[in-house]
Amino acid sequence: MSLQLNAWRKYIPSFQSLLIVSALLRIGLISYSEWHDARSVVKYTDVDYRVFSDAARFLVHPSQVNVGQGPLTKKFSLAVGNPYTRETYRYTPLLAVLLLPNELIHASFGKYLFAVCDLINGVLIYRLLVACIIPLASARAQESSGHILKPVVKQRNDPKNSTQGIDRQAWATFLSATHLLNPLVFSISTRGSSESVLCTFVLLTLFCALKCRWDAAAVMLGISTHWKIYPVIYGVSCVAAIASQTQPTGSGFAFVKSLLCKRTTRFALLSAGTFFILGALCHAVWGYPFLYESYLYHTVRLDHRHNFSPYFYLTYLTYPGQGNSNSSALPLWRRLLRSPLTSLIPQLSLSLGAGLLFGKRTTDLPFAWFVQTYAFVLFNRVCTSQYFLWYTLFLPLLAPRMRFSWSGVAVWAGTQALWLAEAYKLEFLGEHVFFSLWLRSLVYVAGHAWVLGKMMEGYAAGTLVTASQ
């Protein structure tokens, strides 16, 4: 690796230069979005951003029909608006609070905030690569070539005094660039999607976990789960990692027993406590609308709009008000199949099982979280391109320890392109292609499942053989 990196080291800018270029790119796109939206019917800004901005406006302009419904608000007659007055706002009210400057200062404030989170995510990826991941990959390379391993601590303390240190910084900068300069990443944030904020919370959780700062990791996991519910799956792999530290040589029943110890219980209580405290505070101000729109709605959500998930077609065929039979008159087994909760069985089984299987070593947590998230997105009842950002976030962290194949990249992108070509006929041409689109959704699931298998093989071939950490 060192010889290859030295050959093209001069073409890699410093990480500071990368950050500046990334910041200027985002500032330019946000400025362009303001110019474009003022002149075009087809907007650059995502519709979700208008939802966020409207929710913030409702928050600062309470009225008789727009007021928080929580017990604290009612008891003290607080003049706090209800962000859920805005239909389709189904996020934590803290997001609306965070975007109050949209109403008070400038309409594009949120976009700049999301762009800053993009940059923070790049910094976190860089620091994780330099401090934790690349040193382990370098140790693996030395071990494979029969070289005597040098202490990683010395390389970390003085990376500029060795060729490996220079290579480490160059490699980390290059991999960070794959995130910071990823069109999917910067287009989503500059169009006004809030995914970068959640990614910041997730990366902070991972950073604390890899540093074995489990109390901080638990708190950050609680915040992440409050922001959006899916990061709760990472708690399983964290518990597995803590349990393996407690019982390093445990396997089978001994490992299962170690899952219930003081350290894992402490982690679970801190994480759940943070989640419930934030939820209780939001409920005290905004009441039941917060609980329903942020969490309960997703358990009964029937999204009949086409999306990558093959579940959309069943929902479309049985959607209420479309001339379908009354679901209450159907047999129990058919009602169970139609229930949104049924899709959770394969989704959570794979996601949580992967966490227990791959999370036993702290150093494997990035890979465990990648597999968990990939499976969660692949088998989710609703899946759009935006969701892919949840797991591609971890790819720069896996690159030093994984063998990628171009065939996997081709299948991953090709199955999406195949689906999008048919979706275009439905969305823009108005053709009735629901069934053929559903068949392509099945191809998408099969193709992406195959890619996940290749990723697991690639990680197994390149992973370190080390003791539990």
Cα–Cα distance for residue pair 151/155, rounded to 1 Å: 7
**DSSP SS3 for 66:** strand
Residue pair 126/180 in contact by the 8 Å Cβ criterion: no
Residue 415 CB burial class (10 angstroms; 0-12, 13-18, ≥19): buried
Average pLDDT over residues 21-41: 95
| Contact (CB, 8 A) for 419 and 444 | yes
| pLDDT score, position 381 | 87
**CA dist., res. 443 & res. 438, Å (int):** 9
Buried b / exposed e over 208-221, threshold 16 CB at 10 Å, is: bbbeeebebbbbbb
pLDDT tens-place string over residues 49-99:
999 999 999 999 998 889 999 999 988 888 899 999 998 899 999 999 999
Q: How far is CA 81 from CA 10, 71, 109, 285, in A?
A: 55, 14, 20, 10
Residue 159 and residue 165 in contact, taking contact as beta carbons nearer than 8 Å:
yes
**Pairwise pLDDT comparison (17 vs 327), residue with the higher score:** 17
Grouping H, G, I as helix, E, B as strand and the rest as coil, residue 287 is coil
- pLDDT reading at 150 higher than 90: no
Distance CA 33, CA 188 (A): 12
CA–chain centroid gap for 108, Å, is 23
Rounded Cα–Cα distance for residues 286 and 93 (Å) = 8
Query: What is the pLDDT confidence band of residue 337, given thresholds at 50, 70 and 90?
Result: low
β-pair partners for 66 = 63
Q: What number of other Cβ atoms are within 10 A of residue 406's Cβ?
A: 7
Average pLDDT value over all residues in the chain: 85
The pLDDT of residue 431: 85
Q: Phi first, then psi: what are they for 63, rounded to 5°?
A: -150, -175
pLDDT at 151: 37
Q: What is the pLDDT of residue 335?
A: 64
d(CA 122, CA 22): 9
Q: What is the pLDDT of residues 414-452, one digit of tens each?
A: 999 999 999 888 887 888 888 999 999 999 999 999 999
> Per residue in 345-354, pLDDT tens?
889 999 999 9
Tokens read off for 21:
């270029």
pLDDT digits (tens, 9 = 90+) for 357-388: 999 889 999 999 999 999 999 999 888 888 99
Q: Are 176 and 14 in contact (CB under 8 A)?
A: no
The CA distance from 438 to 449, in Å, is 17
Q: What does residue 277 show for φ and ψ, rounded to 5 degrees?
A: -65, -45
Tokens of 261: 């110890």
CA–CA separation, 274 and 267 (whole Å): 11
Tell me: pLDDT of 141 over 70.
no
- Residue 163: other Cβ atoms inside 10 A: 12
Reported pTM: 0.88
Q: Return the amino acid letter for 98.
A: L
Phi, psi at residue 114, to the nearest 5°? Answer: -65, -35
